[in-house]
Structure 1
């Protein structure tokens, strides 16, 4: 792609008759500033459709600055279908003997013809121009040009130049020479949407893919990744489903949408419009990887299977001003006035640019992204030491030397840089708790950029910026001047953040350094949140830092709410566990008390049983002793010397026994005791007269007590 975009813009407007500069730049940005691809976008591709649109082949009358040239191109735009993407059309347009000039009259000495409209006699000149135009198409179609492929592989960038008439197999052979990866193991990602199927055939000619002069591709060694044969990992990713968590601001509404991997970003934005009612031109996105366009598919963008995004409405408080930023974040404005106009960046999203002139005027297209006049070329003092020496072998030592040399060169008024490795700085910023989390800001320094001294001496010395970085960011500084230090940093950020961040840093040109790379952690994933380049003013830098901090704060609100809910659930669980433990302890105490009580009762029972056993043993001894003293029962002999005593116990049968009349009362009581009724427990009551024999004189005989010839005594418990 030619660096002279003014000439491409002028040629495009002359060919397409588009007077609106913003619209013309939009189509050129969409086509990567490839003139013929942009013309294909605007002009009808089917001759029949074109004739129908023009009213059956009627002539076109355009009132523009180059009316004659515009009319010629408009009449013959249907012939562009036969022309493939030739990147050096603008060179042919400016060549002295260019067939394009001859065909369309560009540069003709007859300047008055450019100010005339087509009339009825234009058919003759149209026929002549048609022949010249065909010859120009044939000339452009057969002329080869070089295409530069930038291959990202293993944190290294390989630049390969090859003719657009070569095949995909030739390109892979050259890649094999550079990387030593066989052709059968190469998986190339990064082709535009719709071209992945074509590149799978090694015989496909590069020119037929309609690519520009520079193509960025990411190569994967399929053996390392575990693939077999020519299976394309991107085709596998295209079949996967991606989940996008979209935080819609300022309502903080969370959308969870699922899209297939082959869907491009523009169609995603269109689908989001149906859900949120925010038109695509008013959508402001944050969170897309850098260098993605609306035609990039989800599988090609490099996002994770679950990705977090932030969406704002640009026309809510007026479209914000955006500086040069290659992220897929976009800002739109629906109005064009004398103080602002819409210009489209490389991601096909409009950028509001302030201007003192009318929106119809266009003075210098190359100054769209220039900032204030403070960014003049400032010579770098060669005698000053580099912030990080060449071939430093330790990140921590390099960061310490960076701060020391930064203070020595630019003075003590500077932000507080983290001194340590990038991994430690990322851990400090991305703490586990969302309440303590900050954004990670990586300042990328380069002594070869003319913006460095102004950025460090003025912007980073500003009190408000220093305070902003201190409050909301963890700042890590690194010097990319030497290639060895740059490679160390790329390896480190690839390991800590991801390959997307490494590619983003690698693709930053030196003339746009210094830059601040903002890294955020959303849930468990770290990603590039924003890139702020060095060509900004103090106010722009402060506003971008504040905007990033506010947007990240909005993102963290969701995590904070979830974290608070999780802490509340954990607190409830802890309280429930404590109550359960208390209840368990109470149950254990009850069980222990019950066990102690049962133990005491068992002990008491054993004691009582022991006492009863002892008492029973004593009673048995008393009964045995009493039975020994009782003489044998006398024979039944008729006479007056025998008496029969009947003993009636409280329960059971009556007991009878014969005694002699001379038997003492003691013997009678001993007999009763021997039968099991102890005198200490029972009274022996005579029937008539009623008396307690146990209290009488035990030596008296039965005769004396008149207990004959027979007597019944009653035993009563005491």
Structure 2
């Protein structure tokens, strides 16, 4: 056998092994090779031998897949209710996907909402060998209130994780189960768990991480009694009976994207992880045909297995990763090791951060978001990553127009985590599109663009295309996005112009408002000044009037009395004020001018403000010496004196 025949046989067995694992879901490499060897590497025969007969004859109503190769019942005969079996596959009823976890295995069922709880227990019996009378299924969104309700009464979501408990496996029975009502604040949902008293707090947290996609280290709890620890059992805690309510939400504390070696979940799943990491990838080889010149004619199973295992890379995202950012780091590092160096620049970080990097920019700087979905069990993955994503033309297009973010869908837990992330960030339609993707369609590239504050899925390119088709699809997406971007730029420019005009108007209004306020303040200050001045004048006038009254009272006290009629040397003086009024007073000729001045003061006429003029000849006697007597100025017995303002 020459080297080319050896190489062809080697590659052919690799393809058969990959197809067999993809069809049967058997992850254990040794078990897969054992089935193929028993069928002489005939793929169809091996699949028929490996897959139980009852799973090949499933009705259109239900599809069941097992995630564990350790529990295989071999087909326990089951009997479904007549209502369930009579429903046609073309029914318009809602389909519910149920994933039931039991220890280290899980079973996935797709059933119509009219299916009853007892029907489900019968199906679980066929896969787990646990009789329905010993089964307790918990984790329902609505706790069952009867013995056999339809699934529509228990499940509102299209997908739900449940937990199977064998109530006869231990000393505790159903009556001693603890009923926990768990409120997930972030999802606005309730979950009901009924668990034995021997269950630990950590096991509750682990189950909640499956139900809510919130990793254990990210869970923020309310409602646990004081003093609890991860190892505390439910029976050791003072829980409310019959129902104890707990609340959980995702912690906002940032975590470093590193592997926590002391994590309990890592230690508990290390054996599973090590087994799952042993898968084959022989598409890249540095060997040449000359390397086989001395090769033996035949290959033993041990040689094939050992060489296959060593050449297979680790998964891009481990199945026990709990943090989105850590998963992104694992993906980028694994992708680079496996397919580098000619690979796209995947974004390091969460999906939300990648969306901000692509969309939260001015319209001219925005880019499309490309979500690359990888699956290790797809035979198209290697060619897609090396030949298509590694093309220089494709890489240039990615660098110019895209923010790329990658995820590995190989493990079911990682697939569920991605569905939750896409649901919360891109909406139910995008999550539904991913949920509908089969492994045969993967890998895939989903292209999203920002349009009018929404994220629109422009295109999805599946892995079964060549480089020319892939490049054409990319350029078509670029053309669509360019048209969208032009519209976004125009609308943004118009919005910026409107905002600028509005800002200018607001500034002008504020300036006018400030000017009006300044005027009002000035008027207010002027009014206050005028009020103060009026008050000062009033006080001054009042003070002046007070002084006048005091002066008048003092003068009146010292003013000589008016002489009586008939006395000698009496002079009668008539005073005419500026307004034309007159008043009369008698004086003695021996009185001085000061007596006249004092009298006029009592009448309100101060000499400092008024002149005293004789009628004839006109003479201002107020300018004379006040001690001068009336006789000395030769006033006649009767005289009129005129008062004039100075």
2:397 to 468, 480, 485: 468
Query: What is the aligned partner in structure 2 of residue 705 from structure 1?
Result: 633
- SS in structure 2 at match of 1:168: coil
Separation of aligned partners in 2, 1:597 and 1:676: 35
Query: What is the aligned partner in structure 1 of residue 502 from structure 2?
Result: 573
Query: What is the aligned partner in structure 1 of residue 588 from structure 2?
Result: 660
C-alpha RMSD over aligned residues: 4.1
Is 1:452 equivalent to 2:371 in the alignment?
no
2:114 to 161, 172, 183: 183
Query: What is the aligned partner in structure 2 of residue 258 from structure 1?
Result: none
- SS in structure 2 at match of 1:708: coil
Would the aligned equivalents of 1:388 and 1:401 in 2 still touch at CA under 8 Å? Answer: yes
Query: What is the aligned partner in structure 2 of residue 530 from structure 1?
Result: 459
1:229-270 deviation digits (Å, cap 9, x = unpaired):
xxxxxxxxxxxxxxxxxxxxxxxxxxxxxxxxxxxxxxxxxx
Distance 1:706 1:536, change over 3 A: same
Query: What is the aligned partner in structure 2 of residue 715 from structure 1?
Result: 643
Distance 1:448 1:225, change over 3 A: closer
Query: What is the aligned partner in structure 1 of residue 477 from structure 2?
Result: 548
Separation of aligned partners in 2, 1:598 and 1:589: 14
Separation of aligned partners in 1, 2:412 and 2:385: 21
Query: What is the aligned partner in structure 2 of residue 648 from structure 1?
Result: 576
Query: What is the aligned partner in structure 1 of residue 613 from structure 2?
Result: 685
User: Which is further off, 167-176 or 422-431?
Assistant: 167-176
Deviation at 1:683, TM superposition (A): 1.3
Separation of aligned partners in 2, 1:567 and 1:712: 92
Would the aligned equivalents of 1:640 and 1:709 in 2 still touch at CA under 8 Å? Answer: no
Separation of aligned partners in 2, 1:439 and 1:571: 28
Equivalent runs, 1:251-650 vs 2, <5 Å: 382=309, 383-388=311-316, 390-394=318-322, 395-431=324-360, 434-637=363-566, 641-650=569-578
1:335-357 deviation digits (Å, cap 9, x = unpaired):
xxxxxxxxxxxxxxxxxxxxxxx
Would the aligned equivalents of 1:442 and 1:516 in 2 still touch at CA under 8 Å? Answer: yes
Equivalent runs, 1:193-208 vs 2, <5 Å: none
Query: What is the aligned partner in structure 1 of residue 87 from structure 2?
Result: 168
Separation of aligned partners in 2, 1:557 and 1:714: 100
Distance 1:570 1:495, change over 3 A: same
Distance 1:487 1:714, change over 3 A: closer
Separation of aligned partners in 1, 2:593 and 2:420: 123
Separation of aligned partners in 2, 1:701 and 1:575: 86
Deviation at 1:646, TM superposition (A): 1.1
Would the aligned equivalents of 2:419 and 2:431 in 1 still touch at CA under 8 Å? Answer: yes
Deviation at 1:674, TM superposition (A): 2.5
TM-score, with structure 1 as normaliser: 0.47
1:14-36 deviation digits (Å, cap 9, x = unpaired):
xxxxxxxxxxxxxxxxxxxxxxx
Would the aligned equivalents of 1:429 and 1:438 in 2 still touch at CA under 8 Å? Answer: yes
Separation of aligned partners in 2, 1:622 and 1:679: 13
Deviation at 1:169, TM superposition (A): 5.5
Separation of aligned partners in 1, 2:560 and 2:574: 17
Distance 1:225 1:566, change over 3 A: farther
Separation of aligned partners in 2, 1:464 and 1:496: 30
Would the aligned equivalents of 1:396 and 1:421 in 2 still touch at CA under 8 Å? Answer: yes
Deviation at 1:486, TM superposition (A): 3.5
Distance 1:650 1:175, change over 3 A: closer
Deviation at 1:624, TM superposition (A): 3.3
Deviation at 1:146, TM superposition (A): 9.4
Distance 1:414 1:581, change over 3 A: same
Aligned residues: 384
Distance 1:574 1:682, change over 3 A: same
Deviation at 1:385, TM superposition (A): 0.9
Query: What is the aligned partner in structure 2 of residue 242 from structure 1?
Result: none
Deviation at 1:595, TM superposition (A): 2.0
1:97-129 deviation digits (Å, cap 9, x = unpaired):
xxxxxxxxxxxxxxxxxxxxxxxxxxxxxxxxx
Deviation at 1:435, TM superposition (A): 4.2
Separation of aligned partners in 1, 2:559 and 2:636: 18
Distance 1:481 1:619, change over 3 A: closer
Separation of aligned partners in 2, 1:610 and 1:146: 110
Is 1:673 equivalent to 2:601 in the alignment?
yes
Separation of aligned partners in 1, 2:536 and 2:316: 93
User: Which is further off, 685-694 or 610-619?
Assistant: 610-619
Would the aligned equivalents of 2:61 and 2:111 in 1 still touch at CA under 8 Å? Answer: no
User: Which 5+ residue runs of structure 2 have no aligned equivalent?
Assistant: 1-56, 66-79, 99-108, 118-149, 159-281, 286-307
Separation of aligned partners in 1, 2:381 and 2:89: 41
Distance 1:184 1:711, change over 3 A: farther
Would the aligned equivalents of 1:498 and 1:527 in 2 still touch at CA under 8 Å? Answer: no
Deviation at 1:445, TM superposition (A): 2.5
Separation of aligned partners in 2, 1:420 and 1:668: 110
Distance 1:706 1:222, change over 3 A: same
